A and B are shown apart, each in its own frame.
Chain A
Amino acid sequence: MGFQAISTISKWAIPMLLLVIPFIAQARGVKVFETFVEGAEKGFETAIKTIPYLVAMMVAIGVFRASGAMDLFIEFVKPATDLIGVPPEVLPLGLMRPLSGGGALGITAELIKTYGPDSFIGRLASTLQGSTDTTFFVLTLYFGSVGVRKYRYSVMAGLAADITGFLASVYICYKVFG
Chain B
Amino acid sequence: MVNIIWLFMIVTGILVAAWNGKVETVTSAALESARSAVNVSLGLIAIMTFWLGIMRLAEKAGLIRILARVVKPLTSFLFPSVPKNHPAIGAIIMNLSANILGLGNAATPMGLIAMQELQKLNTRHPDTASDAMCTFLALNTSCITLIPATVVGIRMQAGSANPTEIVGTTLFATGCGTIVAVIADRFFRSLYYRYRR
Chain B neighbourhood of A41, CB < 8 A: 52
CB distance from A110 to the nearest CB of B (A): 10
8 Å CB contact of A142 from B57, B115, B179: B115
Interface mask (B43-87 → A, CB under 8 Å = 1, otherwise 0):
011101111111111111111000000000000000000000000
Contact in complex: A30, B61 (CB < 8 Å)? yes
Interface residues on A, range: 35 or more
Contact in complex: A58, B37 (CB < 8 Å)? yes
> What DSSP secondary structure best describes chain B's contact surface?
helix
Chain A neighbourhood of B158, CB < 8 A: 112-113, 116-117, 122
Chain A neighbourhood of B58, CB < 8 A: 21, 25
Q: How far is the CA of A143 from the CA of B10 in the complex (A)?
A: 21
Chain B neighbourhood of A160, CB < 8 A: 180-181, 184
8 Å CB contact of A161 from B40, B60, B151, B178: B178
Decide: A60 near B26, CB < 8 A? Known: A143-B115, A147-B126.
no
Chain A neighbourhood of B122, CB < 8 A: 148
Q: How far is the CA of A109 from the CA of B166 in the complex (A)?
A: 15
Contact in complex: A6, B33 (CB < 8 Å)? no
Chain A neighbourhood of B161, CB < 8 A: 118
Contact in complex: B142, A161 (CB < 8 Å)? yes
Contact in complex: A64, B9 (CB < 8 Å)? yes
Is the C-beta of A77 less than 8 angstroms from some C-beta in chain B?
A: no
Q: How far is the CA of A51 from the CA of B48 in the complex (A)?
A: 14
**8 A Cβ contacts from A44-62 to B:** 44, 46-48, 50-51, 54-62
8 Å CB contact of A63 from B29, B160, B181: B29
Return the 4 tightest CB-CB contacts between A and B, nearest first: A39-B56, A130-B148, A43-B49, A62-B33
